């Protein structure tokens, strides 16, 4: 991988990885920024080991998902996750209640267990089931059932 190719990858995937990490850590931008940078440090350090026949996006998401999961080993932040820092919103239909809704959504996502949180964040970001299955390492059938359950739980939490 050349430096130019890395820069392209960085531009394309930084927002996606950042959003995944931010969702995982309950809206905490600081932790999300740290982890996202770590992910790309890893990508650059290990790009030689990347198999060309694999999907680079899947590879990056795998690193990101595992970095988020193992962050707990680095620091006991599980109970310190903040929902104070919320994302900016872009939409003409934006109203003040959007902030509250987003805050509630982040809080509901934070209530899910680790792996379910990662899965639903990838669903929210529009990844296909086949891609998520490859990242997580479970069969598509299992994933389908899981996602159905997570969607139900998240919707119930957000609407109450």
Partner 1 sequence: MDTFDDIQALWGKQNEPHPSADSPDKIMAKADKNKKELRLNHLSTMAILTVTVGVVIWYASVFGNRAYTDVTIGLFLMIASMILRIGFEYFSLRKFNQITPKNTTKACLEATISFQKLRRRIQFFVTPLSLLSYVLGFVMLLPYIKAGVSEGFYWYILGSGVVLLIFFSVIIYRQIKREIHLMNHLEESYTKLME
Q: What is the binding site for partner 1 (CB under 8 A)? A: 3, 6-7, 10-11, 14-15, 18-19, 22, 29, 32-33, 36-37, 40-42, 44-46, 49-50, 59, 62-63, 65-67, 69-70, 72-73, 76, 78, 87-91, 94, 98, 101-102, 105, 113-116, 118, 123-125, 134-138, 146, 151, 154-155, 158-159
The beta-strand segments (E) located in 25-76 are none
What's the closest the beta carbon of residue 42 comes to partner 1, in angstroms?
A: 6
Cα–chain-centroid distance for residue 71? Answer: 13
For the chain, first and last CA: distance in Å?
Answer: 48
C-alpha dihedral (98, 102, 108, 113), degrees to nearest 10: 160
Smallest separation, CB 3 to partner 1 (Å): 6
Nearer to partner 1, 80 or 101 (CB): 101
Minimum CB separation from partner 1 for residue 125, in Å?
A: 8
d(CA 147, CA 96): 30
Closest to 43 measured CA to CA, from 74, 64, 22: 64
Residue 53 or residue 88: which is nearer to partner 1 going by CB? 88
């Amino acid at each position: 991988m050349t430096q130019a190719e890395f820069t392209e990858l960085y531009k394309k995937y930084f927002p996606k990885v950042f959003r995944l990490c931010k969702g995982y850590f309950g809206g905490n931008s600081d932790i999300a920024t740290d982890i996202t940078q770590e992910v790309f440090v890893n990508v650059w350090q290990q790009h030689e080991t990347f198999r060309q026949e694999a999907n680079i996006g899947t590879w990056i998401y795998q690193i990101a998902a595992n970095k988020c999961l193992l962050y707990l080993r680095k620091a006991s932040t599980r109970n310190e996750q903040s929902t104070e820092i919320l994302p900016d919103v872009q939409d003409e239909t934006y109203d003040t209640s959007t902030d509250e809704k987003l805050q509630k959504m982040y809080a509901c996502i934070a209530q899910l267990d680790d792996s379910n949180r990662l899965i639903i964040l990838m669903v929210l970001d529009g990844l296909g089931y086949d891609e998520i299955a490859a990242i997580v390492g479970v069969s598509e059938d299992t994933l389908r059932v899981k996602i159905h359950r997570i969607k139900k739980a998240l919707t119930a939490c957000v609407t109450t």
